[in-house]
Chain A
Amino acid sequence: GAGVSQTPSNKVTEKGKYVELRCDPISGHTALYWYRQSLGQGPEFLIYFQGTGAADDSGLPNDRFFAVRPEGSVSTLKIQRTERGDSAVYLCASSLTSSGLADNEQFFGPGTRLTVL
């Protein structure tokens, strides 16, 4: 079956511009996570959704970052007034549920590589 998909795969933008990154989770997965990964680092948590609501947005670095999941499926990560420091690979993951089970595997998408010039 289809895995997690993310679009675009690459995005180059100029400093100060607005960008949207899209994530399509695995069908039926209720939990969706956004991480970002800088070169040479592990993924860093940004936000996760259980259904339509943001269960934890403590990883969003500042108010320029916002994410939505209006129908409990597709999610969009929105970055306003982009800065060069926002350049990274943005990873989306989904899991069947967020039930507290230790073996609830998160499946990662291929990522969107964002470059801010």
Chain B
Amino acid sequence: QKEVEQNSGPLSVPEGAIASLNCTYSDRGSQSFFWYRQYSGKSPELIMFIYSNGDKEDGRFTAQLNKASQYVSLLIRDSQPSDSATYLCAVISNFGNEKLTFGTGTRLTIIP
């Protein structure tokens, strides 16, 4: 079992709709959770981080964490064509060791 799992997609969403991206992780002791966006041929850039159960909102983005279910998600409201990218879920397992463990990423396409 992979440590961080994501549906690789591609996921196609109409412009203006809500895109929902999901991630599960295997290490129950994981502490911090990150969503990175990666455009084709570019490096990852941080969208959101979350470390407490519940929702965290930042503009059009909402991260949701459920530690009991070992599940983290990213919602993108009012999807725009510029949101088309690969979204990477990443996890830090232990405070004091900041290495990120990434999923394979979900490719998202927003259809105008």
Chain A contact residues, CB within 8 Å of chain B? 31, 33, 35, 40-45, 48, 55-56, 59, 91, 95, 98, 100, 102-111
Contacts and interface: CB of A to CB of B under 8 A. Distances in A.
Interface of B: 4, 8, 31-32, 42-46, 49, 51, 88, 90, 92, 95-105
B32 A102 contact: yes
Contacts of A56: 97, 99
Nearest to B49: A103
A102 B97 contact: no
Contacts of B31: 102
Given A102-B92, A108-B43, A110-B42, A42 B102 contact: yes
Contact of B88 (A33, A43, A105, A109): A43
18 contacts: A31-B98, A33-B98, A42-B4, A42-B103, A42-B104, A42-B105, A45-B99, A45-B100, A45-B101, A56-B97, A95-B98, A100-B95, A100-B96, A100-B98, A106-B98, A106-B100, A108-B45, A110-B43
